[in-house]
Amino acid sequence: MTHRFALTLSVALLALSVSGCHKFIKPAEQVTSVEQRFPIKVDADTATYKLAAPAGTNRLTPTLAAEARAFLAVYRAKGHDGLTVSAPVGSANAKSAKALALDIGRLAGEAGLAPEDIVLSTYSVSSSEPEAPVVMSFTRYVATVTQCGQDWSKNLGHSFGNKPFPNFGCATQNNLAAMVDDPHDLLAPRPVDTADAERRAAVFKKYRNGESSATPRTQDERANVSNVDKD
C-alpha cells in the first residue's frame, strides 16, 4: 500500500512540474529561426549614371571613357537584364550624344558584354536643352533588413524558457546583407560557366595513358610550413 501511494505521489508531482513549465515554454517561439524573425528583403532597383555629352564631340574623351568603364565594371559585377544606353533626341547636342552612345557600346563590347546585353534607346528632351546627358542604366538588387536594438523588453538574466532574446540574430542578418556582393545571390544561385572542354580532354587523355593528371608545381610554388628540425 505504501509503495503504491509513493508511486501515485511521484506521478502527480511529475505532472505538476510539467504543467508548471508549460507556461514558460512556447514551441512556436522556440522553432522560429533568425531568418524568420529578421528577414533580408531583396528588391529590384535601377542603377543610373548620366554621362556628359558636350556638343561638337563625336567620341568619348579619356575622362568620359574612364567614367563609362567604371559603370560598366559595376554592371558586370551586379547588373541584371541588360545594359540600357539612352541618347537624347531633340536637344542641341543630340548628334554628339548619339555618337557617344555608340562609343559606349564599343566599350561595352571590349569589356566582354555580348551584343544582346546592350540596349541602345532614346529619350525626348526640349530643344532648349543645350547638353542633355547620355543615360546609362541597368537593373540591380538591393538588400534591406530590420533595424536592430528596437526591443529591449526582455531581461536577459531571467530567461526560464531558454528562448533567444528579441534582438538575437539581428546583427548577423544586417552584416550578411551588407557584405553580400550581389543581393540577388540571396534569391537564386548564379549560372554556372561552361566547362573547359580542352582541359577536360587533356586530363582524360593522361588518365587513359596511365599518366598523372596533376599540374606540376614549380619551385616558386612550393613552401615550407616550418624549418624547425624534427630531431
The domain segmentation of the chain, as residue ranges, is 43-141
> What is the CB neighbour count within 10 angstroms for residue 95?
15
Say whether pLDDT at 219 is over 80: no
Is the pLDDT confidence value at 156 over 60?
yes
**Band of residue 37 on the pLDDT scale cut at 50, 70, 90:** confident
Task: Say whether pLDDT at 65 is over 70.
Answer: yes
Q: Name which of 28, 94, 100, 96 is nearest 60 in CA terms.
A: 100
Sign of the torsion formed by the C-alpha atoms of 14, 19, 23 and 27: positive
Residue 41 grid coordinates: 528583403
Residue 184 or 223, more confident: 184
Q: Answer with the residue of higher pLDDT: 125 or 213.
A: 125
Band of residue 132 on the pLDDT scale cut at 50, 70, 90: very high
CA torsion, points 125, 126, 130, 135, in degrees to nearest 10? -10
Over range 173-196, report the average pLDDT.
89
From 87, 113, 82, select the one nearest 101 (Cα to Cα): 87
Instruction: State which amino acid sits at residue 97.
Output: A
Cβ neighbours, 10 Å, residue 228: 7
Which of helix, strand or coil describes residue 50? Answer: strand
Q: Tell me the average pLDDT across 203-214.
A: 87
Nearest to 111 by CA among 61, 57, 168, 72: 72
Q: What percent of the chain has pLDDT over 90?
A: 45
| HSE-CB for 224 with a 13 A CA cutoff | 4
**In this predicted structure, which of 51-55, 72-76, 219-223 has the lowest mean pLDDT?**
219-223
Are 102 and 84 within 8 A, CB to CB?
A: no
Torsion of CA 110, 45, 177, 189, to 10 degrees: -60
Residue 6 pLDDT greater than 60, yes or no = no
Q: Is the pLDDT of residue 177 over 80?
A: yes
Q: Higher model confidence: residue 197 or residue 19?
A: 197
The CATH class that applies to domain 43-141 reads: alpha beta
Query: Which of the 8 DSSP states describes residue 59?
Result: S
Of 36, 71, 69, 47, give the one whose Cα is nearest residue 183.
Answer: 47
To the nearest 10°, report the CA torsion of 163, 165, 169, 170: 150
Which one-letter DSSP state was computed for residue 125? Answer: -
Look at residue 129 in the predicted model and tell me its pLDDT. Answer: 77
At residue 13, φ and ψ (nearest 5 deg) are: -65, -40
Average pLDDT in the 116-145 region?
91
Backbone angles phi, psi at 99, to 5 degrees: -65, -40
pLDDT at 153: 84
When the pLDDT of each residue in the chain is averaged and rounded to a whole number, the result is: 83
